[in-house]
Amino acid sequence: MAGKEKGRGHGHATAAAGRVAGAMSGTSFDGVDVAVIETDGVDIMAFGEVGETAYSEADRAVLRAAMGAWPGEARAQAAAEVVEAAHIAALADISDVSLLGFHGQTLAHDPEGGRTHQVGDGQVLADALGVEVISDFRSADVGLGGQGAPLAPFYHWACARWIGADAPVVFLNLGGVANISCVDPRTGAPEDPGACLAFDTGPANAPVDDLMATRGLGRFDKDGALAGQGQIDMQILERMLSDAWFETAPPKSLDRDAFAALSDAVSDLSDADAAATLTACSAGAVGRALPHLPNKPAILYATGGGRRNATLMAMLADATAADVVPVEAVGLDGDALEAQAFAYLARRVDLGLPTSAPGTTGVAAPVGGGHRARPNRKRQG
């Protein structure tokens, strides 16, 4: 397990800082990311271990087959077992933590219908690992009329404070779906009015990942090499970007497969042209998001797997007329950031602090989500 300790505390504390682990399994089905941070639920004091456990091809097949499933379906239960086993394996070497934030795996997300579905039982992890687990972060928000996503913005706010920013900072998370956070670290708390504005921008890696898998080309377009060889079909791009969803005011969120029609749209294109077109759609969607921000950003700090895709990053710079740089440029870890976010949110749940707010999910008032599971045995060692 890789370890690195760093951090710049702000000296603002609402509670004693503690070491908390977080785990994230995203919609790209890469695997389980785990990370440890030291936090008081407001500021980051230090970063600890980070690690990743990849899903096997068989596991990915189970997860893909379960996409869109709601509770009670057999395919959802099969996915839950895969997710739980992978998380237990990924977290086995993590020690000296008081709490674990467990996001689980999102299979379906329908906030307009008042429902969202993440599989993975926090009690199973608590019993296996001997540590308290906070899970089910989205349901309370959705139940109160919020979108239930994105949930990382409160942590992005803490990251902006950690890097010493004295003006608003914009983070762009490039996972299966992309989301953007505009955070103002000068505010006193992430739930304060004006502290965070966040929303999904559209698809990021998911359409290209699905293309690669469907055509037998691998799991993803490594470094954007295939897309870089292709020509963009401008008709498909323009049709996608004319979707009324992009005009909808934030906060707003998307299911992973909300733009699944793109797969059919590129079905007659060559591999390279299809990859180029889908990548351009992801970049263009971010460009369509910027007018919803209070001010046009000069820099977007990119996190998530998409920041490694050179073709996507170049297209993003063109689509946004901004500098798009990996979060490593300001000393953050783009592979671990989402796992760290759920560690941070778990600590906030532990302290009774909100985990989402009107500016991040559209919920009527700041709300704290999460379900606590206490282990039936204490961790050894």
Of 312, 330, 348, the last residue of a domain is 330
Location of structure tokens 């749940």: 349
Q: Is the same domain home to 352 and 316?
A: no
Q: Is the same domain home to 70 and 139?
A: yes
| pLDDT of res. 17 | 84
Task: Name the DSSP letter for residue 266.
Answer: T
Q: Is the same domain home to 239 and 360?
A: no
φ, ψ dihedrals at 208, nearest 5°: -70, -40
Q: Is the same domain home to 170 and 314?
A: yes
Q: Is the same domain home to 181 and 295?
A: yes
Residue 300 within any structural domain of the chain: yes
Please tell me whether the overall predicted TM-score, pTM, comes out greater than 0.85 for this model: yes
pLDDT tens-digit series, residues 46-90: 999 999 999 999 999 999 999 999 999 999 999 999 999 999 999
Domain of 52, in residue numbers: 18-150+336-373
Residue 5 within any structural domain of the chain: no
Of 330, 346, 365, the last residue of a domain is 330
| pLDDT of res. 379 | 54
Compute CA 231 distance to the chain's CA centroid, rounded to the nearest angstrom.
29
Closest by CA position to 337, among listed 155, 160, 211, 164: 155
Task: Name the DSSP letter for residue 6.
Answer: B
Compute CA 47 distance to the chain's CA centroid, rounded to the nearest angstrom.
18
Closest by CA position to 265, among listed 235, 244, 242, 287: 235
Structure tokens given for 352: 């009774």
Q: Is the same domain home to 197 and 264?
A: yes
Q: CA 18, CA 164: separation in Å to the nearest integer?
A: 21
Q: Is the same domain home to 314 and 351?
A: no
Q: Is the same domain home to 342 and 231?
A: no
Q: Is the same domain home to 138 and 234?
A: no
Count: domains in the chain:
2
Q: CA 285, CA 270: separation in Å to the nearest integer?
A: 22
Q: Is the same domain home to 94 and 216?
A: no
Strands ordered across the beta sheet of 44-54: 44-54, 31-39, 18-25, 99-102, 133-135, 371-373
| pLDDT of res. 224 | 98
Q: Is the same domain home to 287 and 323?
A: yes
| pLDDT of res. 226 | 98
For the domain that residue 185 is a member of, what is the CATH number? 3.30.420.40
| pLDDT of res. 210 | 92
pLDDT tens-digit series, residues 152-197: 999 999 999 999 999 999 999 999 899 999 999 999 999 999 999 9
Residue 305 within any structural domain of the chain: yes
| pLDDT of res. 2 | 44
For the chain, residues with pLDDT lower than 70 are: 1-14, 377-381
DSSP 90-101: HHTT--S-SEEE
Q: Is the same domain home to 319 and 184?
A: yes
Report the sign of the C-alpha dihedral through residues 161, 167, 168, 172, in that order.
Answer: negative
